[in-house]
Amino acid sequence: GQKIFITWGEHDLTENIVHITLARTPDAPAGTRGISVFIVPKFSVNADGSIGERNDISCVGLEHKMGIHASPTCVMALGEHDGAVGYLIGDEQQGMRNIFTMMNFARLSVGVEGLAVGERSYQQALAFAHERRQSHAIGSSESPSPIIEHPDVRRMLLTMKSYVEAMRALCFVNAAAIDRGSAAADEATRRQFQEVADLFTPISKGWCTDVGIDVASLGIQVHGGMGFIEETGAAQHYRDVRIAAIYEGTNGIQAIDLVGRKLPMRDGGVVRDLFAKMRSFDDELASTDLDDLRAPLARAVDAAADAAEWLLRNRTNQADVLAGATPFFRMAGLVTSAWLLARCALIASQLRAGPTVDVDTRAWLDAKIATARFFVTQLLPGAAALLPAVTGGADQLDPRAFG
């Protein structure tokens, strides 16, 4: 048969290609329960490790895509002649369970893709905003002024930068939980970090790619009309990052995974532990120069906790829970990232007070604090506004709207 959307399904960069392939054995039951996973190589491998004969797998087409043109997306044909040879990985009919081990790493990697393209888009937009001059900025001695001096352009750039730093913090904590769980000396510690990794992974994949798309779109906007011209390169970031919300499980699937599988872990204990940590952080901010972050953080955490409890109480009503899944995962991304950025800002504030901090380091720390403050005061308030969308139930998705 044929399989589509196979990334790097054919190339000449290596002497062999190993395809991880989901398929059924002849007597497998219907549905996902009957799926197994196989290694299907481009070439067989001889007993001495040398490359053998060509396997019956070939590329029969390349997709013409909106973006990521450096990555060939192939249509692969298997078994059209002598039959493709595959080697079972693990046990039969355990393919979905086995493949999700790889998928969880891939999903975090795609979240990092949203971060990476967003970062590059921000870098280009920032450089352009320093160079491009237009109109006279309020309070400026130059005319025309660099557009970074105009408030709305500065707002867009701060939105881009704060989202990028939020994505980076979220992905780093997610990756650290995976590593610390793998290196844990005892089962209780391993389980503790694995729970964090499981909870964070759909947020890292889904929220970071949604936000990466938003950042790339803002990058075009900062360029103005030139952003719509291909020669500037601003549009390529948008075209390349747009797929990240689709592959390795669409972001709608990530939201469903979050509310359907991850929230109920330990009967809601994992997410409640996370909110408890966020609330205890308020004491650390008290009597610091970041005291102004406490109220918006508290409001957002309370709203997210209320949303989570509503979803847990109503978990038996699948239609209502699924209707609120995407608003909740957007809320979870905002609140978790704001908490992480506030923690970064507190550390930066403490380091800044040190007697040996040089001028450049102090400026870098000031930037960290300013970026976190912008995120918490300007972007985080949108989290609480999502609560009615989470708890509104399936009735708000009225099919009569489509005529």
Rounded Cα gap, residues 98 and 87, in angstroms: 14
Tell me, what amino acid is at 245? A
Sheet containing strand 18-24, strands side by side: 18-24, 35-41, 87-88
- Residue 133: DSSP 8-state: B
304 near 275, Cβ under 8 Å?
A: yes
Q: Where are the beta strands (DSSP E) in 8-68?
A: 18-24, 35-41, 43-45, 51-54, 57-62
Q: Which of 165, 195, 248, 309 is catalytic?
A: 248
- Residue 252: DSSP 8-state: H
- DSSP β-ladder status, 51-54 and 57-62: unpaired
Spell out the alpha helix ranges (H) of 242-286.
Answer: 251-257, 269-285
Rounded Cα gap, residues 328 and 304, in angstroms: 8
HSE, CB side, 13 Å, CA atoms: give it for residue 79.
10
Rounded Cα gap, residues 393 and 314, in angstroms: 10
Closest residue by Cα to residue 248 from 113, 351, 359: 113
Spell out the alpha helix ranges (H) of 286-358.
Answer: 294-313, 318-323, 325-352
Query: How many CB atoms neighbour CB 141 within 10 A?
Result: 7
Closest residue by Cα to residue 342 from 375, 317, 309: 375
Q: Does the annotation count 165 as an active-site position?
A: no
Distance from the Cα of residue 46 to its chain's centroid: 41
Rounded Cα gap, residues 277 and 326, in angstroms: 24
Give the residue numbers marked as catalytic. Answer: 248
